[in-house]
């Protein structure tokens, strides 16, 4: 059974199709998975119109014309996960932070691994920029969408950063 009030659409992107889920005017999920890979209860009905603003902003981001998203978000997670995800939104476009940095910023100085786990559960890929979190030594580690996608997103922001 599909959740009432939820809608989804598939948005094309250079990193593959993104499944975008919303409800009541808020964004619930941006997944780097096709709808068939997600729980049908999460998706709701298919509606490109309901997700049009998110699709437009994602298109602008991938075109290098948008550095921040202006969408109402409603991620679901523990208090710690919500704190981590909020901290991710504070990482400036085109910049990175280490897992340890994010852990200290949310008041858990020894919590780099917990930050990594929270990043892995981020329901709003790209919009909540978990791709901007890297290893303490600058290495690309720990990205649920795969390291080639993480590298693409970071490179995109480095190239486009010169435009803003």
CA 90 from centre of chain: 13
pLDDT in tens, 83-95: 999 999 999 999 9
Specify the higher pLDDT residue, 44 or 2: 44
Give me the CATH topology for the region 6-62: Double Stranded RNA Binding Domain (3.30.160)
Q: What is the pLDDT of residues 39-88, one digit of tens each?
A: 888 898 999 888 999 999 999 999 999 999 999 999 999 999 999 999 99
Active site residues: 130
> In this predicted structure, what is the pLDDT of residue 2?
55
Closest CA to 122 of 93, 142, 97, 152: 142
> Which stretches does DSSP call E strand in 86-156?
97-98, 133-134
Q: Is the pTM of this model over 0.85?
A: yes
**What is the dotted CATH code of the domain comprising 79-163?**
1.10.10.10
Q: What are the structural domain ranges in the chain?
A: 6-62, 79-163
Tokens of 151: 């590298």
Q: In this predicted structure, what is the pLDDT of residue 34? A: 82
């Amino acid at each position: 059974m599909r959740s009432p009030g939820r809608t989804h659409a598939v948005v094309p992107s250079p990193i593959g199709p993104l499944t975008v889920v919303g409800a009541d005017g808020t964004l619930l999920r941006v997944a780097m998975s096709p709808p068939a890979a997600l729980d049908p209860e999460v998706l709701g009905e298919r509606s490109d119109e309901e997700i049009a603003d998110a699709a437009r902003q994602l298109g602008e981001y991938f075109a290098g014309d948008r550095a921040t998203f202006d969408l109402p978000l409603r991620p679901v997670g523990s208090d710690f996960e919500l704190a981590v995800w909020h901290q991710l939104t504070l990482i400036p476009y085109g910049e990175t932070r280490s897992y340890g940095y994010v852990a200290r910023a949310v008041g858990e100085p020894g919590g780099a691994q917990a930050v990594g786990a929270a990043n892995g559960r981020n329901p709003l890929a790209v919009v909540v920029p978990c791709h901007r979190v890297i290893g303490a030594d600058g290495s690309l580690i720990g990205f649920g969408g795969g390291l080639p996608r993480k590298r693409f997103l970071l490179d995109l922001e480095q190239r486009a950063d010169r435009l803003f």
